[in-house]
Amino acid sequence: MSADLVTSPDPSHPANLIPSLCAKFWHLGWVTGTGGGCSIRDDDLVYIAPSGVQKELMKASDLYVLSLAAQQSASLSRRQRVYLRAPESGLKPSQCTPLFLAAFTKRRAGCCIHTHSQWAVLVTLLLEAGSGEKEFRINNIEQIKGFGRGFEKSGNLGYHDTLVIPVIENTAHEEDLTEFLEEAMDRYPDTYAVLVRRHGVYVWGENVHKAKTQCESLDYLFQLAVEMKKLGLPWITQIEPVVPTRTE
Ligand SMILES: [Zn+2]
């Protein structure tokens, strides 16, 4: 077990970033009571927070590190994992691990964040109370511009575009969500997030910056959507684009 993999004076090293990001997310109510988490991929190395740790108190030495290429070896079963580095403190690997790996392998993401944000949960409850809808849709809100157009596409969504986030049903064990998350990724090739009913959301991006800002934009939109619903305001509207009239 190599301590070198998680020892660096650089605050932007994944082993230092994960604890600092998780502490921020804890203050936002995204990873309360050890739920939720964050994983970063640096080329072939994947850094993952352990299960059950208090997210605001996590240290670099608590992290697991694995090789993505080794993980995709045909000789390993779906649930088998070979860690390059594990913490010594009797911690257990996160149940989110295969879900984070799905974002890294299927989308070549550089970072994946899982929150138990109440706004995400409330949006899934509102959809369930409606007609059991399997996707969240919203348009004509400025913050939608915080999202990329999709996997391997350049540029971001525009103000008038519709942001669509698929919803999957929760399972008793987090690991069992993996096949449903992967199915949702196949059905929605351009999505950067999947909502989990009565549970939370998984959000990824090609790097830490993009995953974090998309996660923040999404949480903003989920909160806004809940408040809009309370006020009887629709999430989807038809609005004529306003074009500048000045020509000078
Ligand atoms: Zn969870």
CATH number at residue 209: 3.40.225.10
Give the separation between CA 215 and CA 218, rounded to whole angstroms: 5
pLDDT the model gives residue 192: 97
Quote the ligand 1 centre to 201 CA distance (angstroms).
8
Radius of gyration of the chain (CA): 19
β-partners of residue 156 are: 148
Q: List, as residue ranges, the binding site for substrate.
A: 96
Q: Identify the bridge partners of residue 48 per DSSP, sorted by sequence position.
A: 39, 64
Residue 54 to residue 50: CA distance in whole angstroms: 10
Between CA 224 and CA 90 the distance in angstroms is: 41
pLDDT of residue 91: 87
Within its chain, how far is the Cα of 117 from the centroid?
11
Domain assignment present for residue 241? The answer is: no
123 lies in some domain: yes
Cα of 174 to ligand 1 centre, how many Å? Answer: 6
Report the number of distinct structural domains present in the chain: 1
CA of 115 to the centre of ligand 1 (A): 7
Distance 214 CA to ligand 1 centre (A): 18
**Residue whose C-alpha is closest to residue 14's, from 60, 57, 55:** 60
pLDDT in tens, the chain (248 residues): 466 899 999 999 999 999 999 999 999 999 988 888 999 999 999 999 998 888 889 999 999 999 999 888 767 777 778 899 999 877 888 999 999 999 999 999 999 999 999 999 999 999 999 888 899 999 999 999 999 999 999 999 999 999 999 999 999 999 999 999 999 999 999 999 999 999 999 999 999 999 999 999 999 999 999 999 999 999 999 999 898 888 77
In a domain, 73, yes or no: yes
Catalytic one of 56, 88, 135, 142: 142
Tell me the C-alpha distance between 61 and 141, whole Å: 41
Question: How far is Cα 71 from Cα 94, in angstroms, rounded to an integer?
Answer: 15
Does residue 142 carry a catalytic annotation? yes
Which residue, 183, 162, 167, 185, is CA-closest to 104? 185
- Alpha carbon distance 14, 61 (integer Å): 12
Does residue 247 lie within any of the structural domains? no
Model pLDDT, residue 89: 76
138 close to 221: Cβ distance less than 8 angstroms: yes
CB 82, CB 71: distance < 8 Å: yes
Question: Could you tell me where the DSSP H helices lie in 50-207?
Answer: 68-71, 97-107, 118-130, 178-187
What's residue 5's pLDDT? 93
Residues that constitute the known binding site? 96, 114, 116, 199
- Under DSSP, is residue 173 helix (H, G, I), strand (E, B) or coil? coil
23: domain range?
3-230
Q: Compute the distance between CA of residue 239 and CA of residue 221 in angstroms, rounded to an integer.
A: 18
Whether residue 235 lies inside any domain: the answer is no
Between CA 150 and CA 230 the distance in angstroms is 30
Give me the pLDDT at residue 34, please.
81
Residue 242 lies in a domain: no
Which two tokens mark 118?
């109440």
- Distance (angstroms) between ligand 1 centre and the Cα of 163 equals 23
Residues placed in the known binding site for Zn(2+): 114, 116, 199
The answer as to whether 24 is a domain residue is: yes
In a domain, 199, yes or no: yes
